[in-house]
A and B are shown apart, each in its own frame.
Chain A
């Protein structure tokens, strides 16, 4: 290529940002069918696909005292047969439509999700409706899935990240249903097929559900199709259960999960905090971003980029429906467990005692609002944002006003949120690793209770 000689380019400084292009939030079609099913549709025509999520607003929390893990195994077996389609046909139908299917349950939700080629939209919706309305729970499929889940439970108990988060949930939530994230082997073994059917009949109901569809379709036609496929679905709405309140935590305490021979220690600490519906939520999001929620955050700068203790440290605000919680985590080499906890509390306390700089604030605001906007560029991203807004019953202008709400915050707001929601003095600390190498270091931060990987208390 014959290139003319270019004039010298000033290179010392980063170019300024060009004027921002306004983010146009896509038009939503929102409807509620006569049976109570809430529907949210957004056209996204760049790729000839559709992405669908059907949510039921009941998960493991509603059964955590009677049958832990029941919602999850119900969701797993839901795809294994309907009155009209045996398991094998379901899988072949999916492939024929270029579709992928997922079924799962967490604490608050059960969900059936699918994505596939737009040319098969009708068939994909019909299959999802079939699973939601006519699942048959074949006994042999249940037994096979239960055995698979049993092996997964055993693997979970060898995974440091799982052991840490499981222990922290138990500690933070006590008698509250959110305390349990996975059943024991005995609890899984005790679940019966009848319980799956009962959970399904009670909770997979239209009045408790949200259907979100994003993709290459015409909204009016899609709504018509949904009415045709889901309209005749009738079932009573389940009663709501009251949950026991989580415990009040006073003082720091260390919970050590002993994994003999570990070459690394998983550190996780946290405290109860708020849900997305709390007026403080936006302030907390910004405070967390500055503390440890972004690559360019204080925690990452400190214990990764300055000290080299860890690869992927971070902090997060976890918004469950009834009660949120704050966490901070890092997987570190065994000889810096005390040093890591010292730095973690230093960073938390600094957020609580000093206002963040204007530069930190505006940088965090740009990061949060920018990443939020990038969400509109993919079907998955859009669907996730819509689901958040509608599942948590946030204001209808949530998407449109999110950015300005973040931008309006001041460093005083961030300081207030940090003081209220980063509960340094009463943080609960979990460490997972080889007790002989880390217990003494951790004892500097509170009295220690030790467990083995199975959850048995150790002396």
Chain B
């Protein structure tokens, strides 16, 4: 039963409302669900100076009450409609999303429009969510082995622009300094319809969905002038190194991050393929050499957030190695993998299967991917393609760019980008091994 390759086509329609809100639909009548997302083009890169962690704290505030739906009402109305909801804060976007039985579409739109129109929160809500966020940071970072590794460790070493280099979860001093005035200012600056995209996926007629979007969102006033943001990095000329203490875990952990080419550039597609050549599970070159052949590492994985970022980003390799090996020596073996790629390149015999897996993973991402909700990944990509590239239809074209990458391009890329002056290396060194090299 090996059949012909089937090509997937995702139906996509989009429009822009008079207030600048972009609206994207993707009908899917296979089951009576709808997944709705509102994505704002503001992430933790652009939080105010002296307010590290604010974009994420603010995301929590979006669940604390809006004009006609008070605290807990968003959650109660979604849960009692039979649905799930959440929000996340990312580098360049903050998203709010729900999956519900299809009969709740209008109710979800009413809720999202209500909180895009006006946030209604008080000091008590802010104090409460500040406490909640601190426990979130403790449970995910401060009280966990390898907590925050490496997503909080690498940026301050790798980057020089504060937007890219600060603590995205937030210093507690900064969280404590946040005021209700900061909350309202951030809301009015960034949470405007012309800085957002509304996505609807699932069991509905697009015409009906667009009409509902218009009904609930179109009279929300736009922001006259969105602030210009500079997230650019000065050129890097040397390798950057850092070390962070690991208080709990027994193994040294290494993160190697190479800064990636700009979104949608020709090289950017090559980066996506190289990522899978090096990582990509047990067949990847990193796992094969460091875990299987040399048996230096216990685990190695990695990736690059290419599709969902719109500013400086790195392809990151994470290596957890056995304590009897040094971190320096481990990096040297990792470097052999890179050098081999630079010197010998890659054969089609390896590249072709990498692409097959790439295509398969892309389909999986569209189906669900990233969060246990139907079509979460499809929603996420449609949002990124709309906000960053102005074209949600890229969802049906983007694969072509990755699948066209040639062995020559892979080799040239590795010589150009996978070099010391384009990378940062951070070692998480267990307290128990402090002083060991």
Binding site for B on A (CB under 8 A): 1-3, 6, 9, 11-23, 44-49, 87-88, 91-92, 94-100, 115-123, 125, 144, 147-148, 151-152, 154-155, 158-160, 216-217, 221-222, 225, 261-264, 294-296, 301, 304-312, 331-333, 362-363, 366-367, 369-371, 373-374, 376-381
Contacts and interface: CB of A to CB of B under 8 A. Distances in A.
B307 interface: no
B80 A379 contact: no
Contact of A381 (B80, B110, B361, B374): B374
Contacts of A23: 31-32
B81 A17 contact: yes
A158 B82 contact: no
Contacts of B419: none
B25 interface: no
Interface string B64-95: 00011101100111011111110000000000
B18 interface: yes
A154 B250 contact: yes
Contact of A333 (B114, B135, B216): B135
A165 to B, nearest CB: 14
B214 interface: yes
A96 B356 contact: yes
B interface: dominant SS? mixed
Nearest to B131: A308
Nearest to B20: A1
B107 A15 contact: yes
Nearest to A380: B368
A378 to B, nearest CB: 5
B374 A159 contact: no
B32 A17 contact: no
A88 B282 CA distance: 8
Contacts of B30: 44-46, 377
Given A47-B367, A374-B100, 18 more contacts: A21-B32, A21-B103, A48-B363, A147-B298, A148-B291, A155-B250, A158-B145, A159-B145, A159-B248, A264-B138, A295-B75, A296-B75, A308-B129, A308-B132, A362-B80, A366-B80, A370-B82, A377-B31
A353 to B, nearest CB: 23
A119 B6 contact: yes
Contact of B135 (A120, A295, A311): A311
A332 B67 CA distance: 31
Interface string B53-72: 00000000000000111011
Nearest to B125: A305
A95 B352 CA distance: 9
B71 A305 contact: yes
Nearest to B212: A15
A204 B88 CA distance: 41
Interface string B95-138: 00001111111110011001000000000000111111111101
Given A366-B80, A374-B101, A379 B367 contact: yes
A375 to B, nearest CB: 9
A225 B1 CA distance: 8
A310 B80 contact: no
- Central interface residue in A46, A96, A121, by most chain B CB within 10 Å: A46
Contacts of A91: 281-283, 288
Contacts of B135: 264, 308-311, 331-333
Nearest to A162: B145
B224 interface: no
Nearest to B201: A377
Nearest to A96: B353
B343 interface: no
Interface string B291-325: 11001001100000000000000000000101000
B10 to A, nearest CB: 10
A286 B403 CA distance: 48
Contact of B367 (A46, A151, A333): A46
Contacts of A262: 143
A13 B77 CA distance: 11
B31 to A, nearest CB: 4
A309 B298 CA distance: 36
Nearest to A334: B138
18 contacts: A11-B67, A15-B106, A23-B32, A45-B30, A47-B8, A88-B288, A96-B353, A100-B361, A119-B4, A154-B250, A159-B248, A160-B143, A294-B79, A296-B76, A308-B132, A332-B135, A373-B101, A377-B374
B280 A95 contact: yes
Contact of B103 (A17, A94, A115, A376): A17
Contacts of A21: 32, 101-103, 203
Contact of A158 (B250, B288, B366): B250
B283 A333 contact: no
A370 B61 CA distance: 26
